[in-house]
Amino acid sequence: MRQGKTFIICGPSGVGKGTVVARLLASNPNLYFSVSATTRQPRNGEVDGVHYHFLSREQFQSWIAEDAFLEHAEFVGNYYGTPKKYVDAAMAQGRDVILDIEIQGAEQVHRQRPEAVRIYVAPPSWAELERRLIGRGTEDMEKVRSRLERGKQEFAAASSFDYFVINDTVDHAVTEITAIMTAEHCKPDERIAMIDK
C-alpha cells in the first residue's frame, strides 16, 4: 500500500480556501484533514476532536516539550498547533493529509518535513481579492486594506512554495489541487520502490 503524503495549503484571507478544502474533502474520502489543537475555549457547537483538539495550557505546553507538534504558535493569549500523531497515523494508513495553516506554520513544518508539499492558493488578482473581502461585508475598509497588505506580503514569502493554485473558480482550484496530489505520488522515490518489488 502506498504511504500518504502531507499537503500544506496556505492562502490569503478572503481567497476562498475554506470552500476549496471542503470540496476536496467531499470528493476524496481518503483525504485526512488535520484538526488543530488549541487552548482557547470551545464555542457553542464546537466538538472536541472535530473542530479542534481542545487542550489545557498545561497539556499544550507539555506537548510542546515532547516535540509533539509539527508547528505551533500563540495568538492573542491562546496556543494553536498541529499535533504530529494524527497526521502520522493517517499517512501510515495510506491517507493523504491536508494541513490548512498560516504561512508561518508552513515554514515550521517545512523545516521539520521538507517532503511536505506546499500549495499556495492565490486570487486571480489583487483587485479580485479586494472585491471578495469587501463582498463578505464583515469588515470595514481599514481591515480589508490591512488583510490585503498582509496577503501581498505572504504572497512574496510563498515564492518558495511548490505550487500556486489560482482560485478563479472553485472547480478549477479543486481540479488543480487534485492533479497536484496525483502527480506527487508519481515521483521516482515512491514509484521505483513499487516496481523493484
Which candidate, 117, 93, 84, places its Cα nearest to that of 186? Answer: 117
Q: In this structure, what C-alpha cell is assigned to residue 144?
A: 480589508
Contact status: 1 vs a second copy (CB under 8 A)? no
What does the alpha-carbon distance between residue 110 and residue 105 come to, in Å, rounded to a whole number? 9
Contact status: 195 vs a second copy (CB under 8 A)? yes
Q: Tell me how far, at minimum, the Cβ of 191 lies from a second copy, in Å.
A: 3
Q: Tell me how far, at minimum, the Cβ of 180 lies from a second copy, in Å.
A: 5
Site string for a second copy, 95-134 (x = CB under 8 A): ------------------------x--xxxxx--------
| Residue placing its CB nearer to a second copy in the complex, 83 or 123 | 123
Q: In this structure, what C-alpha cell is assigned to residue 66?
A: 515532547
Angle at which helix 170-184 crosses helix 17-27, to 10 degrees, equals 60
Q: Is 16 left (phi over 0), alpha (psi -120 to 50) or beta?
A: left
Residue 32 identity:
Y
Instruction: Measure the CA angle with vertex 157, ends 85 and 17; round to 5°.
Output: 60
Q: Tell me how far, at minimum, the Cβ of 94 lies from a second copy, in Å.
A: 16
Contact status: 164 vs a second copy (CB under 8 A)? yes
Query: Which residues bind to a second copy, rule: CB under 8 A?
Result: 119, 122-126, 155, 159-166, 175-176, 178-180, 182-184, 186-188, 191-192, 194-195, 197
